[in-house]
Chains A and B, each alone.
Chain A
Amino acid sequence: MIITPQTVGRLALLGVVVVIVQVAAISQVSLLGTTADLVPLVVAAVGLLCGSLTGAIFGFAVGLFVDTALFQIMGLSSLVYLVAGYGAGRLRELRDPQAPVVPVVVGAVATAVATIGFGVMNFLLGMDAPVSFLLARQILATILVNAVIALPVFALVRRWMLPVLPDDPRRRRRRAYTTGGLSPLSRA
């Protein structure tokens, strides 16, 4: 994907809005005893739509903003979200899955990577917190809630990024067929 200033602008605005909405609203709404986390979903959606490199850079930048805005250890969220963004982007580049359920699965995996990765990093940095059944249940609940909202989040991100995304070859092919341009029948 070719990165234009317009793409960068849209991604920057998306990142800032997502983090502020997450901190100011979403994290204060309890669902199934936990809260949804939009950030890994949006990072994964950007990775899926724009590719691994853009996904990784977006994940890194958003993570840095999260760490700064919440006064957390700088670089920790960046590392976790860049893995999520890069992973989603590589999936698109290697497999290009088209099933409607893909954003749900990718969103759930990205959330798992973010929550578990964050925990592992904290343990590595010496945080003393016991791994309990309750914690595992909370992580699972967050993944579940995020999986439920993954589709609308993905749709919103795609809608926002659509003007700067390269034309999808499948869509172009479909359009060509309907107008008769590339149809084998019209050639015959």
Chain B
Amino acid sequence: MYDRTIRRRRAVLALLVVSSLILVTAYFGESPSSPLHSVQRGIMSVVSPIQEGASRALKPFRDLFGWVGDTVSAKGDLKDARKERDAWQAKAISLQAQERQNRELRGLMGLDDSPTDVDTYGPVTARVIGRSSVLWYVQLVIDKGTASGLRAEQPVVASDGTGNGAGLIGKVQTAARGSAIIRLITDSEVAVPARNVGGNADGVVTPRAGDPQDLILKYADKDAAISLNDPVVTAGTVSSRKDLKSLYPEDIPIGRVSAIEDPGSETQEIHVKPYVDLRRVEFVRVLTKPQAGS
């Protein structure tokens, strides 16, 4: 009896492990239109309305935590704030949340005044309804999908509402009817052709694992004129071949040069601080016509 229990336990465990490995292998070799991806899209369509509802329902909870975090960081004002806190707490939480959303949306609109006019690219504004917390896969789930014109590989811009401006945050990985997954620029599989606004430090912006506030501008010429605080923007299409168009329109802001290690040497490393704190994004704009301006 005991042996049978052990054998059954081992058999189930082996079955589960083998199933996982088969799934990984099958999924890894599949194209995006294949059965497993279709199943995922189908389930995503079912789950995303629930997710959106939960996201809205749990918003006060998130705001409460955000409010607590802000209070902790503002220790200096704690004594004065305490006097009024009890009376205004409930109202303040709600107003702060609205204000942050307002700032974020205004920041997004401010993108229209950036070197490139985002309105040309058919922007669709969407709300973030979920995000992956896994450190390696940095993704957002948004409440707009193919029904709103979203397709895979479309660039996504956002503002975090801190007043630091707005900029590129990633691209659409996949879209279901009413929701889509955004793969952020902090994901190691995302690389964005970029340059400084001056224009002679062309390279590719890649993430630094574990720190969403630090990107690396790779492959820039060591002799290129680039200095601290230089704005870094998307380079757009640099090839004359029509089949090699960049996913990202040119001159979309990404961030500012925050540090240059070993400047002028072969091992030069240019650090870029993104304009947008990806952990604070609540609204995004998906550029549904990225090639419109070219």
A residues with a Cβ closer than 8 A to B are: 20-31, 35-37, 52-53, 56-57, 60, 63-64, 67-76, 78-79, 82, 86, 115, 118-119, 121-122, 125, 127-132, 134-139, 142
B136 near A119 (CB under 8 angstroms)?
A: yes
Question: Chain A residue with minimal CB distance to B42?
Answer: A68
What is the minimal beta-carbon distance from A100 to any residue of chain B, in angstroms? 26
* A134/B139 in contact, CB under 8 A: no
Q: A36-B133, A118-B136, A130-B208 are known contacts; what are 12 more A-B pairs with Cβ within 8 Å?
A: A24-B129, A25-B61, A25-B62, A28-B128, A70-B181, A74-B24, A75-B21, A75-B27, A76-B20, A115-B134, A127-B136, A142-B135
User: Are B135 and A115 touching (Cβ within 8 A)?
Assistant: yes
Q: Which residues of B contact A37 (CB under 8 A)?
A: 133-134
Q: Provided the pairs A23-B51, A118-B136 are in contact, do residues A29 and B66 lie with their beta carbons within 8 angstroms?
A: yes
B37 CB to closest chain A CB, in angstroms?
Answer: 8
Which chain A residue has the least Cβ–Cβ distance from B137? Answer: A72
Docked pose: A30 CA to B277 CA in angstroms: 12
A130, B209: Cβ atoms closer than 8 Å: yes
Nearest 5 A/B pairs, CB to CB: A75-B23, A135-B210, A134-B210, A25-B58, A27-B133
Find out whether the CB atom of B12 lies under 8 angstroms from the CB atom of A68. no
Which B residues are CB-close (under 8 A) to A69?
Answer: 43-44, 47, 51
CB of B17 within 8 A of CB of A82, answer yes
Binding site for A on B (CB under 8 A): 8-9, 12-13, 16-17, 19-24, 26-28, 36, 39-40, 43-44, 47, 50-52, 54-55, 58, 61-62, 65-66, 69, 128-137, 139, 141, 173-174, 181, 188-189, 207-211, 214, 279
A135–B209 CB distance below 8 A: yes
Q: Is the CB of A74 within 8 A of B27?
A: yes
Cross-chain pairs A/B with CB under 8 angstroms, 6 sampled: A29-B62, A68-B44, A72-B132, A79-B17, A129-B209, A135-B135
CB distance from A107 to the nearest CB of B (A): 15
Distance from A41 Cβ to chain B, minimum over Cβ atoms (Å): 12
Q: Tell me the nearest residue of chain A to B36, going by C-beta.
A: A74
Query: A23, B141: Cβ atoms under 8 Å?
Result: yes
Q: Could you tell me the distance between the alpha carbons of A60 and B24 in the complex, rounded to whole angstroms?
A: 13
Determine the residue in chain A with the shortest Cβ distance to B24: A75
Chain B residue at minimal CB-CB distance from A121:
B24
Q: Is A75 touching B20 in the complex (CB atoms < 8 A)?
A: yes
Chain A nearest CB, measured from B60 CB (Å): 10
How far apart sit A86 and B129, CA to CA, in the bound complex (Å)?
A: 32
Using CB atoms, name the residue of chain B closest to A51. B9
Residues of B within 8 A of A20 (CB): 47, 50-51, 54
> Contact: B20 with A21, CB < 8 Å?
no
Q: Once the chains are docked, how many angstroms separate the CA of A142 from the CA of B133?
A: 10
Shortest distance between the CB of A99 and any CB in chain B (Å): 25
Residue in B closest to A142 when the chains form the complex, CB atoms: B135
CB neighbours of A29 from chain B (8 A): 61-62, 65-66
The answer to whether A132 and B209 have CB atoms under 8 Å apart is yes
Compute how far the CA of A20 lies from the CA of B24 in the bound complex, rounded to whole angstroms.
Answer: 23
Question: How distant is A181 from chain B, measured CB to nearest CB, in Å?
Answer: 29
* Contact among B24, B40, B130 with A23 in the assembled complex (CB-CB below 8 Å): B130
Chain B residues whose C-beta falls within 8 Å of the C-beta of A131 in the assembled complex: 209
Residues of chain B lying within 8 A (CB to CB) of residue A27: 130-133
User: Within the assembled complex, what's the spacing in Å between the Cα atoms of A132 and B13?
Assistant: 33
Residues of B within 8 A of A25 (CB): 54-55, 58, 61-62
- Give the residue of B131, B135, B211 whose beta carbon is less than 8 angstroms from that of A139: B135
Cβ contact of B9, chosen from A52, A60, A118, A134, cutoff 8 A: A52
B135 CB contact (under 8 Å) in A22, A31, A67, A138: A138
Smallest CB-CB separation from B141: which chain A residue? A23
* A183 to B62 alpha-carbon distance, docked (Å): 52
- Asked if A138 and B210 make an inter-chain contact with CB atoms under 8 angstroms apart, the answer reads yes
Partner of A30, one of B16, B21, B211, B279: B279
Q: How far is the CA of A125 from the CA of B27 in the complex (A)?
A: 12
Contacting residue for A74 out of B40, B51, B129, CB 8 A: B40
Q: Which of A52, A71, A128 has the most CB of B within 10 A?
A: A71
Q: Does B210 contact A132, Cβ atoms closer than 8 Å? A: yes
Contact yes or no, B51 A134, CB < 8 A: no
- Tell me if A68 and B40 are in contact (CB < 8 A): yes
